[in-house]
Structures are given as structure tokens and as C-alpha cells.
Amino acid sequence: MLAPKGAPSIFVETYSDARGWVDPALLARWQKIAGVRAESNRKIEALRTEGKLGSSLQAEVTVKAGPAMRELLASLGDDLRFVLIASKASVEPLAAAADADEFFVEASVVTAPKCERCWHYRSDVGSDPAHPTICGRCVANLFGSGEPRAHA
């Protein structure tokens, strides 16, 4: 019998109760980040519609943000680009009078070459003469100690 406890299907079973793991502060944090990602996706999609890029990895995203939002996004470090699914992402301050959680997203096309392994567009593609078609990040992941990632 595949369905435990006599359920009609294994797909309707509950194996663990995750309600105890709910962290409202963590949820609120990632909901804010998801809002930035949604706006980033909208800007990238506009570039795609214009025929300027085909993949979100061809994009460079700059988020101009008020103090609280800037601090939140900066806490992601280099992982912000993975969260936004872009080859490059940065956070800059918005005007001093800006609301703490206010943000504005700009997207543009990256001019760096494409890594044939990870498909990110990076200026360090070919930096290792032994591996001229992949980026430094991939060289580190394949032949070194790898990259540290904490959030994405």
C-alpha cells in the first residue's frame, strides 16, 4: 500500500506540520525582496519585448532604494543577482528624502561575454587561460574551493 494511514492517495497525505516553523519577520523580509524581484522581472520583460535581450541573464539590474530597503537588499550581498536572476545586480541609494522602503529598478543589457557553463554574462570570462570560455566563478567552482553563497 503506497498511501499511509488509509488515505485515498499519497498525494493528499501530510508528512510534517510546518506551521510551527512560521517566522513572520522572515516572511515579511522575503515578501519585500519578492516585490523587488517582481519589479525587476517587469523591467527585464520590457527589454525582452523590445528585442534587446532574450534571457534575464543578459540583464544588469540596478535597484535605487530608500535606507531600509537598501539595507535589506545589501544584506544579500552578491547573491542579489541570483535572487533577481540577472548576471549583475547592484543597490544604490535613493534621494535622501525617500521613504525608507521605497525603491526603483533599472534594467539594462550586459555587455560582458557569456560564460558557456553558467550562461551568466561576466567580465571575467576567459580570465583563466586554461579555460578561455568560462568565467572565474565557474573556474573556482570546478577547479577550486567554490563560491560561497548564503541566500540563493
DSSP assignment of 108-152, as one string?
A: EE--SPBPTTT--B-TTTT-STTSTTS-HHHHHHHHSS----S--
Sketch the domain layout of the chain as residue ranges: 26-111, 113-147
What's the mean pLDDT in 1-10? 64
* CATH code at 26-111: 3.30.2320.20
106 phi, psi to nearest 5 deg: -120, 140
| pLDDT given at position 105 | 97
This prediction has a pTM of 0.83
Between CA 94 and CA 106 the distance in angstroms is: 12
pLDDT exceeds cutoff 70 at 5: no
The whole-number average pLDDT for the span 112-129 is 96
User: How distant is the alpha carbon of residue 69 from its chain centre?
Assistant: 16
SS3 of residue 71 by DSSP: helix
